Amino acid sequence: VRGDGWLPQGDPRDRLPAQIARVRALRAEAGVEEPIVIGAITEPLYVGEPGWPVGRRTLAGKPEELAASLREYAAMGVHQIQVRFRSRSVAELTDQMAAFGADVAPHLDRSDQ
């Protein structure tokens, strides 16, 4: 209850708003007034259209679409996200990371950094 951050592990996105509200309520009940940083681990990402089955929970698509989806976390009260990528090889992983940095990240809001 007195922690200064929370990073849920593997929780589906649709459960986060209620969980964040619960953490905030518990902190308020305990009289904790210091700020808290909320993190989230995103669904696996694939920048572009994969030519192989990446799994039903994977977010795949155009960079602008992925960025719009990731921005939803901020509306839930999440301050930082950890992204992970679907890939079949180290080369594909590094390509996905580069594509995210070049094509998705510029569409994310950095105004509060």
pLDDT tens for the chain, 113 residues long, are: 567 888 988 788 999 999 999 999 999 999 988 889 999 999 999 999 999 999 999 999 999 999 999 999 999 999 999 999 999 999 999 999 999 999 999 999 765 44
As for how many domains the chain has, the answer is 1
Domain assignment present for residue 36? The answer is: yes
Q: Please provide residue 18's backbone torsions phi and psi, each rounded to the nearest 5 degrees.
A: -70, -40
pLDDT at position 83 is 96
**Cβ–Cβ under 8 Å, residues 46 and 16:** no
Q: Which domain holds residue 95?
A: 5-107
Q: Is residue 85 part of a domain?
A: yes
Note the pLDDT of residue 3: 72
What pLDDT is recorded for position 11? 83
Report pLDDT for 109.
76
Q: What is the pLDDT of residues 66-82, one digit of tens each?
A: 999 999 999 999 999 99
In a domain, 23, yes or no: yes
The Cα angle at residue 77 between residues 96 and 100, in degrees rounded to 5: 10
Whole-number pLDDT of residue 33:
87
Whether residue 91 lies inside any domain: the answer is yes
* 70: in domain: yes
Do residues 18 and 76 touch, judged by C-beta distance below 8 A? no
Q: Is residue 24 part of a domain?
A: yes
Q: Determine, yes or no, domain membership for 113.
A: no
